[in-house]
Amino acid sequence: MQDPMPLRRGLALPLREVVVRTSRSSGPGGQHANVTASRVEAIFDVEASETLSETQKQRVISRLGPRVTAVAQDARSQARNRELALERLQSRLIAALAPERPRHATRPTAASVQRRLDSKRRQSARKQSRERPPDDGD
């Protein structure tokens, strides 16, 4: 992963803001005789970031929380898992920083309105047929 990690045009996160921890992997490379700490966890503390603006921090926190983590234990090599964890962290941050597209109100089509009303009529008729028969008054 290149330093700094590009997030969008004009914004790159220096890797010094990302904490990388290693531990024993439960996947490949975690059980062989010469045990290695091949599981990698990349942690980014959003509130402590000097790179992100306040609005960007709020956007990330509202979508992912104050700490963003990414874990990789897919490969046997710690170096490859480090790359994977940083790539996953990068993709999560890019998705969280993307601005929400405004919703444009639409109207239902005539056919969908007709289907909904037909369905309501069928349901009403089904429930009407369940009514108790009238009392004969014998």
Q: Which CATH class is domain 5-97?
A: alpha beta
> What is the reported pLDDT for 118?
98
> What is the reported pLDDT for 90?
94
Cα separation of 52 and 89, whole Å?
15
> What is the reported pLDDT for 34?
61
> What is the reported pLDDT for 134?
77
pLDDT digits (tens, 9 = 90+) for 78-115: 899 999 999 999 999 999 999 888 999 999 999 999 99
> What is the reported pLDDT for 132?
82
Mean pLDDT, contiguous 10-residue spans, the chain (138 residues): 84 92 71 71 93 93 94 88 94 92 94 98 93 75
Sorted by sequence, the CB contacts under 8 Å of residue 4 that are 6+ apart come out as 12, 13, 14, 15
> What is the reported pLDDT for 29?
55
> What is the reported pLDDT for 46?
93
> What is the reported pLDDT for 49?
92
Q: How many CB atoms lie within 10 A of CB 113?
A: 11
DSSP result, the chain: --SSEEEETTEEE-GGGEEEEEE--SSTTSSSSS----EEEEEEESTT-SSS-HHHHHHHHHHH-SEEEEEE-SSSSHHHHHHHHHHHHHHHHHHHHSPPPPPPP----HHHHHHHHHHHHHHHHHHHTTSPPPP---
